[in-house]
């Protein structure tokens, strides 16, 4: 897949209801961390259900810069070869493209006792300090120095301990988890993140020979082992992509089978969508969703999993713009994640923000306008909102969307949306 340039645009025009079947790709937020975990042991790994997205390309480039080989051996399959004596360094020009790169820190420390990792970049929605990542690794025995935009980490031998996270940070949980599998003794992570992607990573590590218990709960216990071995693994489906297509259906109407979606990974999204009027039935193949009338407004608040994920929020804001009534959306996780609202207002949305709240008064229809994607989910939400707008909407900076969605335009077009790349 070609990496999009800054001129990438998606053009959406109003169409009829959506209909058909859409296949959900592997979870971006899972595969990136599993790719990082291949730093833990030499040998050949095969990862399946890997989406062809630019974030996967970026992580592939990062592993290759260390001396590993990453090859797409099938449309949804990666083969990763970890040779002896890689260089445990993540250079700035790669890390700045993606915040998730910071999770190579834990596995590199565990396997090589040292790491040099640039401070992360990524989406533009406010600061997300990595203090918790470093604090957890320090408690395992790592030492850090920071200079010239790099973190220099060393550890003669990581030693198991109890790590209490002040917030259930996904990245901090993942770094501590990957570092502790080769540590001496027992590590307990308290107030751990509970996301399905954490459980998928733990499953991958256990298949490698690690001893991880409790992933998916607030307490994860890891018994350190002497060595790990490479394995094959199927990545879980992407719950955020599934939510994106549910939101698209809610706005455009129709009936769609979301193939591969797992209701147990997105219970709060399914519940709130049902409250808005989307009928969702779990089937053997995924989720069968129907939207036959205008949605009803609801109030939503983001919270750590199993609460409503902050990545879901732009889709609820988009659905509320054309729902009946007034909905209040509250952001409790990150600052600065309302920046796309000005773009929705350009499309005629009635939204007022106050601190970390957005009050959305539904309109009968939005109107097409030129808008700009600020990050992955905001960009996708603008495309989704455009399905319920009169006239043409042009979403620029669409390369952000390509970071997290495989064949996004093609999948929507396959459901009947009037959408194309420009």
pLDDT of residue 338: 84
pLDDT mean over 331-337? 80
Model confidence over 78-117: pLDDT tens digits?
999 999 989 999 998 888 888 788 999 999 999 999 999 9
Concerning whether 123 is annotated as a catalytic residue, the answer is: yes
- Strand, coil or helix: 38: helix
Cα–Cα distance measured from residue 371 to residue 343, given in angstroms and rounded to the nearest whole number: 5
pLDDT of residue 337: 65
pLDDT mean over 23-47? 98
Cα–Cα distance measured from residue 82 to residue 84, given in angstroms and rounded to the nearest whole number: 7
pLDDT of residue 2: 40
Domains of the chain in start order, with CATH, are: 9-24+238-421 (3.65.10.10), 28-234 (3.65.10.10)
Cα–Cα distance measured from residue 48 to residue 282, given in angstroms and rounded to the nearest whole number: 24
Whether the per-residue pLDDT at 5 is higher than 80: the answer is: no
Higher model confidence: residue 289 or residue 334? Answer: 289
pLDDT of residue 119: 80
pLDDT of residue 292: 97
pLDDT of residue 127: 44
Least confident of 140-154, 242-256, 375-389: 140-154
> What percentage of residues in the chain have a pLDDT greater than 90?
88
How many residues make up the chain in this entry? 422
Q: How many CA atoms lie within 13 A of 412 on its CB side?
A: 33
The DSSP H or E segment spanning 74 is strand 69-74
The DSSP H or E segment spanning 315 is helix 313-320
pLDDT of residue 188: 98
The DSSP H or E segment spanning 22 is strand 18-23
pLDDT mean over 172-181? 98
Whether the per-residue pLDDT at 271 is higher than 70: the answer is: yes
Average per-residue pLDDT for the chain: 94
pLDDT mean over 254-258? 98
> What percentage of residues in the chain have a pLDDT greater than 70?
95
pLDDT mean over 175-198? 98
Catalytic residue (choose from 76, 123, 397, 402):
123
Mean pLDDT: which of 6-10, 126-130, 264-268 is highest?
Answer: 264-268
Least confident of 17-21, 240-244, 334-338: 334-338
pLDDT of residue 129: 67
Cα-based torsion angle of the residue sequence 82, 86, 90, 94 in order, rounded to the nearest 10 degrees: -60
- Rg of the chain, C-alpha, whole Å: 21
Which DSSP letter does residue 103 get?
G
Confidence of residue 3 (pLDDT cuts 50, 70, 90): very low
Whether the per-residue pLDDT at 268 is higher than 90: the answer is: yes
Least confident of 114-128, 253-267, 354-368, 404-418: 114-128
pLDDT mean over 158-180? 97
The structure tokens listed for 77 are: 């399959």
- Strand, coil or helix: 363: coil
Model confidence over 364-408: pLDDT tens digits?
999 999 999 999 999 999 999 999 999 999 999 999 999 999 999
């Amino acid at each position: 897949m070609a990496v999009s340039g800054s001129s990438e645009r998606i053009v959406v025009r109003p169409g009829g209801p959506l209909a058909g079947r859409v296949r959900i790709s592997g979870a971006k937020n899972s595969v990136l961390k599993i790719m990082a975990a291949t730093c833990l042991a030499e040998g050949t790994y095969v990862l399946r259900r890997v989406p062809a997205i630019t974030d996967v390309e970026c992580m592939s480039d990062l592993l290759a810069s260390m001396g590993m080989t990453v090859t797409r051996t099938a449309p949804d399959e990666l083969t990763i070869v970890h040779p002896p004596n890689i260089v445990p360094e993540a250079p700035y020009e790669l890390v700045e493209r993606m915040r998730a790169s910071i999770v190579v820190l834990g596995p590199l420390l565990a396997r090589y006792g040292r790491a040099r990792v640039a401070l992360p970049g990524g989406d533009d929605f406010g600061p997300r300090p990595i203090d918790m990542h470093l604090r957890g690794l320090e408690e395992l025995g790592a030492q850090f120095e920071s200079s010239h935009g790099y973190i220099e980490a060393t550890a003669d031998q990581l030693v198991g301990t109890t790590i209490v996270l002040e917030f259930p940070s996904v990245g901090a949980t993942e770094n501590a988890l990957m570092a502790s599998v080769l540590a001496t003794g027992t590590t307990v992570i308290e107030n751990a993140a509970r996301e399905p992607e954490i459980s998928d990573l733990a499953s991958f590590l256990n298949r490698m020979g690690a001893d991880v218990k409790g992933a998916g709960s607030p307490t994860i216990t890891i018994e350190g082992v002497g060595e790990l071995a490479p394995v094959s693994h199927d990545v879980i489906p992407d719950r955020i992509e599934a939510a994106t297509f549910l939101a698209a259906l809610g706005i455009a109407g129709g009936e769609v089978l979301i193939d591969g979606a797992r209701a147990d990974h997105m219970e709060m999204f399914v519940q709130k969508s049902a409250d808005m009027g989307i009928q969702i039935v779990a089937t053997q193949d995924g989720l069968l969703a129907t939207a036959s009338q205008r949605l009803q407004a609801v109030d939503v608040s983001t919270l750590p999993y199993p609460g409503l994920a902050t990545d879901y929020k732009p889709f609820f804001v988009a659905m509320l713009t054309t729902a009946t009534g007034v909905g209040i959306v509250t952001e409790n996780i990150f600052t600065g994640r309302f920046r796309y609202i000005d773009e929705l207002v350009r499309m005629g949305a009635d939204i007022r923000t106050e601190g970390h709240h957005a009050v959305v008064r539904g309109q009968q229809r939005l109107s097409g306008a030129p808008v700009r994607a600020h990050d992955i989910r905001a960009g996708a939400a603008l495309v989704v909102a455009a399905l319920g707008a009169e006239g043409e909407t042009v979403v620029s900076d669409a390369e952000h969307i390509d970071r997290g969605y495989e064949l996004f335009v093609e999948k929507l077009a396959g459901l009947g949306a009037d959408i194309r790349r420009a």
